Amino acid sequence: MVDQLRTIRVMIVDDEEPARSELKYLLESFREIEVVGEFAGGDTVINAIPSLNPHLIFMDIEMAGSNGIQIAEKMHAAQIVPLLVFATAHEEFAVKAFDLNAVDYLLKPFSAKRVAKCIEKVRALLQEAVQTNSTKRAGELATVPYSLQKLAIEHNGKAFVIDTKDIIAVYCAEGQLAIRTANKCYYSNMSLQEFYSRLDEQLFFRTHRAYLVNIEKIREIIPWFNGTYNLILEGLAEEVPVSRQQVPKLKKIFGL
């Protein structure tokens, strides 16, 4: 969230490049907005969300080869819950859009005034989520004991031995597994589940189908939307999502 909220990370999904460019131009006039990805539609949108971790997605509806409503339904089924704004020329889909908990519905052609009103609404929602839900720093919460372990990771033809306690997070990125430490990011062809099986379960928490985090690196737990949370980790700029399915385990770990 932006500063606590920091930046509002945005993805734009539209099969027409001029429409994406126009919306991006309007959004970049807001200093807190960072456009982290542009997509023409399809399942690539859903696959990109875990690594880009957007707070907000602007989604067209009628796109060549795909449909924004269907993409949004898949996101909900997978418990991927960034804020969603439908940006389309088709006003007849508005009722269905709001059934999917869209926060706004922009009609093309976009106007700077209407986009500004949308961003104001998004900003208020994010601020409210921060202000109405108390957060606790993980350093003030009970820690979970673990035993020191070492792990060999194949990277660029070499095997690197690292202490698992130095791992900040592990996540899926562009078809590979990214293992982040404070000083380096290693890449592996292992599956997330295979990697998880080699770790101490008392030290690592699978927050989401695409993320593992080191419990000792958690610094803030931020209530998000639809019963989910985001985590701020020491040494990692991006917020990490916690799916609704994993929230009970998170609460049990920290006694929330």
Q: Residue 27's pLDDT is what? A: 94
- What confidence tens digit (pLDDT) does each residue in 96-150 have? 666 667 888 888 888 999 999 999 988 888 777 655 543 333 333 233 333 336 7
Residue with tokens 């088709």: 90
In this chain, the answer to whether the domains covering 8-131 and 138-254 adopt an identical fold is: no
Q: Residue 76's pLDDT is what? A: 73
Q: What is the mean pLDDT of the chain?
A: 81
10-14, 33-37, 98-102 — which is least confidently predicted? 98-102
- What confidence tens digit (pLDDT) does each residue in 61-75 have? 888 877 888 888 888
Structure tokens at 56: 């907000």
Residue with tokens 């542009």: 38
Mean pLDDT of 251-255: 88
pLDDT over 90 percentage in the chain = 31
**Full DSSP string of 132-184:** SS---BGGGSPP------EEEEEETTEEEEEEGGGEEEEEEETTEEEEEESS-
Mean pLDDT of 6-10: 81
More confident residue, 199 or 132: 199
Contact of 175 with 44, CB cutoff 8 Å = no
* CATH architecture of the domain covering 8-131: 3-Layer(aba) Sandwich (3.40)
The span from the CA of 34 to the CA of 27, in Å, is: 8
* CATH architecture of the domain covering 138-254: Beta Barrel (2.40)
82-91, 121-130, 193-202, 246-255 — which is least confidently predicted? 121-130
What residue ranges do the domains of the chain occupy?
8-131, 138-254
In which element (H, E) is residue 239 found?
none
What lies within 8 Å, CB to CB, of 243 at 6+ separation is 79, 207, 208, 209, 228
Helical residues (DSSP H) of the chain, grouped into ranges: 17-27, 44-52, 68-77, 94-99, 112-131, 192-196, 247-254
Q: Which of 137, 99, 151 is nearest to 234 (CA)?
A: 137
Q: Residue 211's pLDDT is what? A: 92
The span from the CA of 54 to the CA of 4, in Å, is: 15
Length of the chain: 256
Mean pLDDT of 51-80: 82
- What confidence tens digit (pLDDT) does each residue in 153-168 have? 776 767 777 888 899 9
Q: Residue 133's pLDDT is what? A: 46
Q: Which of 174, 169, 172, 187 is nearest to 237 (CA)?
A: 169
Give, in degrees to the nearest 5, the angle at Cα 231 between 27 and 251. 140
Torsion of CA 81, 35, 117, 5, to 10 degrees: 70
Q: What is the pTM of this model?
A: 0.56
The span from the CA of 125 to the CA of 82, in Å, is: 12
Residue type, 13: V
